[in-house]
Amino acid sequence: MKNFSLILGSGGVKGLAHIGVLRYLEEINLKPEVIIGSSAGSLIGALKAKGLDSREIQELLLTSRSLKLLDFSNFKESIMHGKKINAFLEKHLNLDFDELKIPLIVNAVDLKTGKEVKLNKGLVCEAIRASISIPGVVKPVKRDDMLLVDAGFTDPLPFQYVPRSKKVLAVDVSSSLLKLDDNPSIIAILRQSFYITQNNAATRTKKLYFSSNLAPENFKYLKLDLSKHDMLNFIQKDEDYKQIISYGYETAKKELKSFK
């Protein structure tokens, strides 16, 4: 399959699986015409769109290690300031969207209005910073009159930005629901509520796009089962991260044999 749009969905740490999918696409010499990303998918998509290959992206992200990017705030607006994240993004993605080798579209949500925002103009580092700003965890981004945060909980697979009549590969790394007992903890309840919202949003947008714009033969939906990994556990060993990446590669190799 050629001339396709690649959607890389949100999923926190699970988004590292996108690197494995990219590695397989590189092996079979498939390059997307446009990359559309949400949250973690926006970051990895931006690095790919800049021109890095999957191994370079893996080395960069694992070398950076999430622990090095943590800078705790006074908890007034968020758990983290995001200053170290800003520095990382400015170092590696301080270029204009027009300078990317592959067109890129990412999304965010305006906290003031609840409306989704399409980001594909201006500085890439600023757009990615907004797209990965998990509400409550990373400080929101002020842009014009908006207060932008991660759209992963409302639109983790932004199909609406795919050009009409395009063939599509959508990679979904959103979290599966937890297996709860009859007396779940407050943390488990909050996590499950978030996962339900995210999964329902992904299902809804997929159905809407699939039913109105695309023939079945032109659409490939790759759902990665990463249920044993916590999407918000940003402090893990390299081997855990590599396991997620490897799973993305092996699943893509198995499921995308006909994707040529």
- Read off the DSSP letter of residue 96: B
**51's tokens:** 């021109």
Contact yes or no for 161/105 (Cβ under 8 A): yes
Across the chain, where does the E strand assignment appear?
Answer: 4-8, 34-38, 104-110, 116-119, 141-143, 146-149, 167-172, 219-223
- The single-letter code of the amino acid at 113 is T
39, 54, 174, 175: which one is catalytic? 39
- The single-letter code of the amino acid at 119 is L
31/107 Cα distance (integer angstroms) = 21
Contact yes or no for 209/170 (Cβ under 8 A): no
Residue 174 among the catalytic residues: no
Residue 150 among the catalytic residues: yes
CB atoms within 10 A of CB 76: 6
150, 155, 172, 175: which one is catalytic? 150
Contact yes or no for 16/241 (Cβ under 8 A): yes
Helices (H), 13-82: 17-27, 40-50, 54-64
Q: Which residues are annotated as catalytic? A: 39, 150
